[in-house]
Amino acid sequence: MRCISFKLLSIVLLLASCTSTGSQVWKVKDVVSARYNFALADTFLELDNSLQEISGLEYDVKGRRLLAINDEKGIIYEIDRQSGKADELYEFHKSGDYEGLARSGKFVFVLKSNGKLYRYNTDKDKTKVYDTGLSAINDAEGLYYEHSSNSLLIACKGLPLSENRHEKAVYRFYLDTRQLDAEPVILINVERLKQKAENELNAEQLWRLNRFAPSGVAIHPETGQIFLLSARGSMLMVFDAKHSLEYLVFLDMQKLPQPEGIAFDEDLNLYIASEGKAGKGKLMKFTPN
């Protein structure tokens, strides 16, 4: 009985420690430096009730506006970057579990957790549905449009195609052929990474790292770095242009309890959006150093 009580107490203390505030950066490569001060956001907003469960975030360069979806309604919103107010822009489909958002010209792409891809034509107010080759077991969440390859990066919260439970993957879906490349753009073995970090991270950080599961993805417009969010454990991994991990950010769990949306604007400002859980959705803006 004493043994059980001790274990329960240990779990309670560990979970309590995971409510710490502030952001910390773990440099996997000593020579790199973070381009953003994650401990000091330029803007912190609470969003409208319609975006309490915000899931996807995108910056529309042409319209100079921030777009978002929640994971229940087939509606694309515009977020006022000063107030956090949300206006309905497009209704692309009926309700569903929508997770990722990306835009290319007149087309807005929305990703469903079961791997279905919705292409909404803003000129014709019509939606087409594509099969990416991913399924519910992969739990597709993050979406980003890469202009140079006319493709979409899809980050999977669930199992990769290899079904290795220790790995998390980002895949590329080519829009020209409507085919998924089965070779991951990024493949993270969380167990190996945790072993590498054992002598550098504390117990709370290791506990959070063990929960890493991609929820959002974006490419830095200037450097080509890939920014990969995890709602679980509130983290951000940053990879260089050759897809090698540079550093890991443990975000402020009080302000970003469940980050699922990430985007850059034309001034290289970084936006991260989080579900509100018990409260309102959150949006943080980080200006470059």
Residue 188 pLDDT more than 80? yes
Residues 192, 21: Cα–Cα separation, whole Å: 27
pLDDT surpasses 50 at 266? yes
Res 6 pLDDT > 60: no
Per residue in 63-83, pLDDT (tens digit) is: 999 999 999 999 999 999 999
Q: What is the CB-side half-sphere exposure of residue 101 using CA atoms within 13 A?
A: 27
- Write down the pLDDT at residue 29: 87
Q: Residue 3: is its pLDDT beyond 50?
A: no
What integer pLDDT is reported at residue 18 of this predicted model? 42
The two three-digit tokens of residue 125, written as one number: 């107010």
What are the pLDDT digits (tens) for 205-233?
999 999 999 999 999 999 999 999 999 99
Residue type, 209: L
pLDDT of residue 21: 54
Q: Is the pLDDT of residue 61 over 60?
A: yes
Distance CA 112, CA 115 (A): 6
The rounded mean pLDDT for the chain is: 92
Structure tokens at 187: 């493949």
